[in-house]
A and B are shown apart, each in its own frame.
Chain A
Amino acid sequence: NAGVTQTPKFRILKIGQSMTLQCTQDMNHNYMYWYRQDPGMGLKLIYYSVGAGITDKGEVPNGYNVSRSTTEDFPLRLELAAPSQTSVYFCASSHRARIDTGELFFGEGSRLTVL
């Protein structure tokens, strides 16, 4: 039972490059989220999705894009990487019926450095 799988685990980018962080879940969850975690800070919501074909901005969406073509996948695209996007990125998912019970399942994180 894989849960939430993120790839890659580590990546170094040069300023201006683009990349996609992949996130897949095998629990048939409707809700999926992308967070970033900066040192000494809490998690900031980038984008979220309540189902295939539906996405919405979170607190810090600038510089990112997402898509949700299937229930399982929720990739995060970074366009024109900037040093301010150096962070650890977490993908998470939850089932619609349990959204208020806190059963948010996290991936192991993707550490991105932009130089």
Chain B
Amino acid sequence: GNSVTQMEGPVTLSEEAFLTINCTYTATGYPSLFWYVQYPGEGLQLLLKATKADDKGSNKGFEATYRKETTSFHLEKGSVQVSDSAVYFCALATGNQFYFGTGTSLTVIP
């Protein structure tokens, strides 16, 4: 079956710290992989995506590389800001459906 497993939170970091949120997946076929972000009281928004192996998605200083050999898509940012505080979801899409991880809550303190 298809599933996504991501690092449990919550994660608390100081401003300008390095961020890694781990994500691994199980899928049939060749899925596309995504990171979504959810700010308090809002719906999810697409943060970045990668549609094939070795692709790197990037946006707003966040990056993730589609690693087929390790079935991973870890999210990284070199220097987090208070405004990055949110819940981050790893997801995959295959066929007509999207599959989401459980989400990782990030709090960045000044």
Size of the A side of the interface (Cβ < 8 Å), in residues, is 25
Q: How far is the CB of A50 from chain B (nearest CB, A)?
A: 6
Number of A-B contacts (CB under 8 A): 57
The reply on B81 being an interface residue by CB < 8 A is: no
Residues 22-67 (chain A) with a chain B CB within 8 angstroms: 31, 33, 35, 40-43, 45, 48, 50, 56, 58
Interface residues on B, range: 20 to 34
Q: How far is the CA of A50 from the CA of B96 in the complex (A)?
A: 8
Q: How far is the CA of A4 from the CA of B41 in the complex (A)?
A: 15
Q: Is the CB of A106 within 8 A of B45?
A: yes
Given contact pairs A35-B100, A109-B42, enumerate 17 new A-B contacts (beta carbons under 8 Å).
A33-B98, A41-B102, A42-B4, A42-B101, A42-B102, A42-B103, A43-B100, A56-B96, A100-B51, A100-B94, A102-B34, A102-B46, A102-B93, A103-B46, A106-B43, A106-B44, A108-B41
